[in-house]
Amino acid sequence: MNWQYFILGCIGCLIIYFVYGYFSKRHYFQMLSLFYRENKTDEFLERLNSLPSKIFFTYKVRQLMRIDAYMAKKDYEALNEIFAYLDKTGLRPGDRYTVLQKEVIAYADNGQNEQAVKALQSMEEMLPKFKKDVEHYRSMYDESKYIVAIKVQKDGQYAEDLVKIARETQMPVVKGMYFFKASQSYYLRGDMKMCKNRLSDAYDNLKETVYGEQIKMIIDNGELSKIMDIAI
């Protein structure tokens, strides 16, 4: 009889585990859709404070999820608080590396140049430690290096590299992001013809995203200097 109770208890635990996992995954993808597809940033942040989110996600995970939303809102005060918390928190190497990349982007966009360079240096120090998915992490580092060059150093030296990457990738959004960074690089060089051409390429690939309208306004108004105010 005791064995029967034990087996029933195990079965019950397994059922709870799978049910919890199912609803946790469903909630996670609903949250991702809310922010990345529906562009409802405020609602996304509000729902991260809801009871289901607190049940399914730890505080640390919710902080990680908040980063992109606050970056979209350009709420650098909130981002600084999150980064300060996460920098003192134990994270898996891949998560730590991703947070460092977000720091580079946010700090560079907010003019916190020393912090941006420091985060990039930390990425460089971590890079040799990755033995799997090396190309993925190298790509993340290179993207951050381009951002520091454009936003911090005001240097367009990687323009051709960015165009090459854009033309080789098959993903429209990624293609558009690299064309946009190339456009910024040509602007910094003072090559306005190439800047306009690459900005047009960026719009062709990003017009269905949240950046499309901003890019179109710049193209229509001929205000190329405003491309330096957009963080993609």
Q: Mean pLDDT of residues grouped by 10 in the chain (232 residues)?
A: 55 50 58 68 81 79 86 89 91 92 93 95 94 91 94 94 94 92 95 95 88 88 87 72
Question: Residue 194 and residue 65: Cα distance in Å, rounded?
Answer: 36
Cα dist from 29 to 9, 34, 69, whole Å: 30, 9, 15
pLDDT for 21 = 55
pLDDT for 52 = 73
**How much is the pTM?**
0.78
pLDDT for 19 = 47
Cβ-contact 171, 187 below 8 angstroms: no
Residue 155, SS3 per DSSP: coil
pLDDT for 101 = 94
Residue 131, SS3 per DSSP: coil
Contacts of 114 (CB under 8 A, 6+ apart): none
Domain positions in the chain are 157-232
Question: Residue 166 and residue 173: Cα distance in Å, rounded?
Answer: 10
Cα dist from 8 to 18, 19, 20, 55, 217, whole Å: 15, 16, 18, 25, 64
Contacts of 7 (CB under 8 A, 6+ apart): none
Contacts of 171 (CB under 8 A, 6+ apart): none
pLDDT for 196 = 95
Cβ-contact 163, 178 below 8 angstroms: yes
pLDDT for 12 = 53
Ramachandran class of 57: left when φ > 0, alpha when ψ lies in -120 to 50, beta otherwise? beta
Cβ-contact 91, 103 below 8 angstroms: no
Which of 197, 183, 194, 190 has the alpha carbon at shortest distance from 227?
Answer: 183
pLDDT for 41 = 81
